[in-house]
Every structure is written in structure tokens, then in C-alpha cells.
Structure 1
């Protein structure tokens, strides 16, 4: 929130009611998306929760974009289909995760669907913010998300100030999150929602690649196939 505010002041922009409203709604959707996603992962099977969430995150902006009149080319449409398949494959659990005793209950199902819709709506809502506001909608998104998360943490007695390594990791994550949000907004401002949203939803491929390089984690055969399909999808959507 601090970094985004500094950047917004530097780059200027006009703060209007639509910028505040759409930004705040975006932040609320982000907060609920994160909360429900990790709650679903903690209570349910990763093999179901992660791919289902991923497909909803990718599908929502595509569906809304097409409903609003966007018409990608045939090649781009094919790329979207490949991207959706890639998201499901790279989000599959690693070996051994399927042995977890967690069940896909009705509560887990609702949290999974809710998180996928909330994350997907995040793209849709911030895409509605006026371009002349520049980075200010992101500031209001982070303010509303921060307030909501703190209130939820207080209500559930989970608010603990991090120290040491967790604090350093949180600060690093904040910097990366700022870069990602700015890149997301700029991409949405110059391209179709249906295409940009599905491309951004391919982020699990980046997570898997970093897990391989940094953490030396083993990647399943299906995840590897998904990463290849993700590269193909990017090329198809860019060409289309």
C-alpha cells in the first residue's frame, strides 16, 4: 500500500469517484479470494481445489470480456482454450499430495468456487477503472483489501505482527506484489480483458518453474506438459 501510494503520487493521475469505487471493489475481491483460497487448501484436497480455482480465475475475465463485446481472433480463441488446459495441468498437485486425508466437502466446494470467482472478478473490476486515474485505483484496492484482511484477522484472533524472517519475506512479497499489480493494470489498459486475464492466470506456470529452480522441487509429468502448453498459449494469443 505504501509503495503503490508513492508510485501513484509520482505518476500523477486524476482521482475520481469511479477510480475509488472500482479500486475498492477490486481490493475486496482480492481479499476474499485469498482468504477463501487458502481456507479451501487447508481443509480440502489440493488436487481438486487448485485446478478448479485456476480454471475459474482464467474463465471469468474471458466470459465477461466476450459478454462485453470483445471478439478475439480465431487463433487467440484457440490460445485461450490451450491456456485454460495449461492452467489446470500446472495447478495439479505434486506426487504425494493426493494421499492427504482432506475431503472435498460442500463447505470446501463453496470456498473453492468463491475464491475462483473472486480472483477472476479482480481483473474485471480493475479493468473498469478510468485510465486517466493511472495507478490510483490500485492504491484504493490495496487500502480496502488491507482493512478487510485486518478486520478478519482481528475477528478470528489471527492478527500477529511478523518479525524476523517472516517480516523480511512479507516485505519482499509486498514489493513483488506491487510490481505485479502495476503490470496487471497497464496490461489491462492496452489490451482486451478476455486475453489479458487468461494470460495473467497462467502465473502457476511461473510458480512451478521457480519451485524447480529455487527449491529444487520435483515437477510431475502433467505439470511439465502444462508448462509447455502455457508457452504455446502465450504465443498463440500474442499472434492472434
Structure 2
């Protein structure tokens, strides 16, 4: 839901102007939650949290930009494949060996990318198309989000929610600096502001759930299961925005979700 709301806001104003509102809001909320949860603040918690924040900053910025320019029902599933793939790749580098089902899932994911990326005849007239720019933003966002899972998973469990606080502090400072350098340090008004505030609240809930899940289970499994989030984003895009998808794209989205499930099982 946070992705959908943030994407809608980014269709009205620059993505950076949405993030400079949603991230500080999430930071303040996380500080209050962290104080309630307790936990021990250590150097590893600060370092891993800050590194995670850098990855999150670029991930959300690029993702909102992709959602703002391209079709949400296409961008979201493709991002999820990369989000699922990065933890698997890190697991391989650390010596983990997935099963044949997981390898098959990777193959299905590649087919899904090809199908979802296809545009129907006449799509050149659509305002939100899957262009090369949108494709690169999607890839960048997926890699950044996947790395986010890997980094935050390294934070000590005894720190509770504090790594998320330091992540949001680092991310907020980074996006504000980028916005200032690119002349985008302008707080949106009206509906975009309300959407940005809502995205910040929803993003806080999602990140707390993410960290608690990572602390309670394996990185490779949890990271991939979290990647099933496009189901809600795509459903909202099709119901609320009436986004049109071709049969090939619909088949590709189904394969994308199947690929995520296969990688998780493997």
C-alpha cells in the first residue's frame, strides 16, 4: 500500500519531493516505537542501520520515480524479482546452495521479465509506459531494496528497532541533500502532501514488520517471501487506476509471483 500511495504522489510531483516528506515522518515514528521497544544501541546497530538507510534512500527514490513514470502493475512485479534475487545471490556467495526448484524459479523469473516488459500495439500513446528509463529505474530500485534486506539482517537482534531508526536518519539526510543539490527541496502541498504523509506511516509499519520477520527467520527465506508484496500493489493499480495489461503481461506477472514462490521454496 505504501508503494502504491507513494507512486501516485510521484505522478503529481517529483519523486524526491515525496520522499523528503515520507522519510522524515517515518523517522520520527520509528524513534517513538524504538523507545517503546527498548533495545541496546551498539556500534554495529548504528553502522548496519546507516548503510541500510543509504540503500533504502536510493531504492525508494528510484522506485517512486519508476512508479510515477511507468505502469505500476508492471514495475512492481519486476522490482520484486530483483528484491528476491539479491538475498539469494548473497546466500550463494556465502556458501548457500539452493535446490533445483530455486534454480528453476530463477529461469521462470527471466521469462516473466521478458513477458511483462512487452508492450502492446498502441502503448506508445499511453502516458505511463514501460520505457528504457523506467526499466533502469526499476532495476536500480530492485537491487537497492534487495541489498537493504541483506544489510539490515546484519544488525544485532538485541538492538530491536534502533537499526531502523539509524537507517531512516541516514536516508533522510541523504535524500534531503540530493533534493537540495537538484533544486527539489520543496515540500509538496495539497493531495501530494497527504499522500506522502500516508506513505510515511504505511512505510513505518512495513519496515517494523520486515525487521521482526528477518530477526525471526532466515534471510534467504524471509527476503523472498516479503517480495510477494506486488500482489497488493498490482491489485490496487488495476482496481483504482484501471490500468490495462495485455495477456502477455498478465501471464508474466503470474510467472513473476510463481518465480518468487519457487525461489522461496528452494
TM range (shorter): 0.7 to 0.9
Matches of 2:208 and 2:224 in 1, distance apart?
17
Matches of 1:9 and 1:196 in 2, distance apart?
25
CA-CA distance at 1:124 after TM superposition = 0.8
CA-CA distance at 1:31 after TM superposition = 1.2
Please point out which of 103, 106, 117 is paired with 1:81.
Answer: 106
Q: How many positions carry a matched residue from both structures?
A: 237
3-state SS in 1 of match to 2:245? coil
Question: 2:218 matched to which residue of 1?
Answer: 192
Say whether residues 1:58 and 2:64 are aligned partners: no
Judging changes above 3 Å, is the alpha-carbon distance between structure 1 residues 23 and 103 closer, same or farther for their aligned structure 2 residues? same
Matches of 1:97 and 1:176 in 2, distance apart?
32
Matches of 2:35 and 2:142 in 1, distance apart?
32
Question: 2:161 matched to which residue of 1?
Answer: 135
CA-CA distance at 1:35 after TM superposition = 3.6
Q: Equivalent residues in 2 for 1:33-48 (5 A)?
A: 33-37=59-63
Judging changes above 3 Å, is the alpha-carbon distance between structure 1 residues 214 and 98 closer, same or farther for their aligned structure 2 residues? same
Say whether residues 1:169 and 2:192 are aligned partners: no
Q: Which digits, 9 at most, give the CA deviation of each residue in 1:64-115, with x for residues without a partner?
A: 022223345554x25743773586378647655556899748xx98766544
CA-CA distance at 1:52 after TM superposition = 6.9
- The answer to whether the 8 Å contact 1:20/1:137 transfers is yes
Question: 1:203 matched to which residue of 2?
Answer: 229
Q: Which runs of 5+ in 2 are unaligned?
A: 1-26
- Normalised to the residue count of structure 1, the TM-score between the two structures is 0.78
Matches of 1:158 and 1:231 in 2, distance apart?
35
Please point out which of 147, 153, 176 is paired with 2:173.
Answer: 147
- The answer to whether the 8 Å contact 1:131/1:189 transfers is yes
- The answer to whether the 8 Å contact 1:52/1:112 transfers is yes
Q: Which digits, 9 at most, give the CA deviation of each residue in 1:170-215, with x for residues without a partner?
A: 1110111111111221222222222322333343333211111222
- Normalised to the residue count of structure 2, the TM-score between the two structures is 0.71
3-state SS in 2 of match to 1:142? helix
Judging changes above 3 Å, is the alpha-carbon distance between structure 1 residues 98 and 84 closer, same or farther for their aligned structure 2 residues? farther
Q: Which digits, 9 at most, give the CA deviation of each residue in 1:108-138, with x for residues without a partner?
A: 9876654443222111111111111111111
- The answer to whether the 8 Å contact 1:87/1:204 transfers is no
